[in-house]
Amino acid sequence: MFKAKILVIGPSESGKTALSDFLSDATETIGGEYRPTQGVRILEFESQTLDASDKNATLDVELWDCAGDFKFESCWPALMRDSNGVLIVFNPDVSSHLREMETWHSSFVSSQGMQESQCLLIAHHKPGSSADRGHPALASHLSKLSMIHSNLEEDPEQMRQAFRRYLGSIVRMMSESREREEMSIIT
């Protein structure tokens, strides 16, 4: 079985910890008092994946719930090492989040030569936020990336399914790169 290291990054207070807890089934209740993540928190669990033809598989996941505070920037290279994907979580109602997305994307995706397909943007809607499901006003190259809306109060299953599909695509990439590696050893 593959093991995937997935980073959860993005602006402070966007909901990375709430979402990570939900995806890893770490908690029954979502929400509660805000406690900024200090550095990083690693959640390990097994998850179902969905491939393009809706087939299930199981994957070992390490979800790295990172701090959104830039004071931890010096840790970023260590976080990025050997990661297989990134989820960038933001609140589409907050204009500073939209501006920050550029920095998160360039620091974690472009700079480490990750493929765009390994990156998923998550417009996370907290309770009481707007129900706007349109395209947030992101910079043009970011709006080409895969993006999903998350609302854990109204439709948690949609988020779970989207995460499983994303993991399915990550597994496919990992197995393709393993095959390439094996071929290069043989030939």
Ligand X SMILES: Nc1nc2c(ncn2[C@@H]2O[C@H](COP(=O)(O)OP(=O)(O)OP(=O)(O)O)[C@@H](O)[C@H]2O)c(=O)[nH]1
Question: Which residues of this chain interact with Mg ion, rule CB under 5 A?
Answer: 16-17, 37
Per CB under 6 A, 39 contacts ligand X: no
CB nearer to ligand X: give 10 or 85: 10
Work out whether 173 is an interface residue with ligand X (CB under 6 A). Answer: no
45-119-22-160 Cα dihedral, nearest 10 degrees: -90
Number of residues counted as binding ligand X (CB under 6 A) = 21
Least Cα distance to 20 among 114, 106, 105, 87 occurs for 87
Q: Residue 103 and residue 37: Cα distance in Å, rounded?
A: 19
H helix or E strand, kind and range, residue 174 = helix 156-186
> Residue 183 CB, nearest distance to ligand X (Å)?
41
Q: Does the protein bind ligand X through residue 112 (CB under 6 A)?
A: no
Residues 135-164 touching ligand X, rule: CB under 6 A, are 152-153
Q: Are 171 and 4 in contact (CB under 8 A)?
A: yes
Least distance from Mg ion to the Cβ atom of residue 16, Å: 5
Q: Read off the amino acid at residue 39.
A: G
Residue span 61-100 as binding mask against ligand X, x where in contact by CB under 6 A, dash where not: ------xxx-------------------------------
Provide the minimum distance between the beta carbon of 17 and Mg ion in the complex, in angstroms, as a whole number.
3
Alpha-carbon distance values, 125 to 27, 102, 144, 149 (Å): 19, 20, 20, 7
Per CB under 6 A, does 16 bind ligand X? yes
Answer for the pair 142, 105: CB distance below 8 angstroms, yes or no: yes
Residue 107 binds which entry of ligand X, Mg ion, none, CB below 5-8 Å type-dependent: none
17 vs 118 by CB, closer to Mg ion: 17
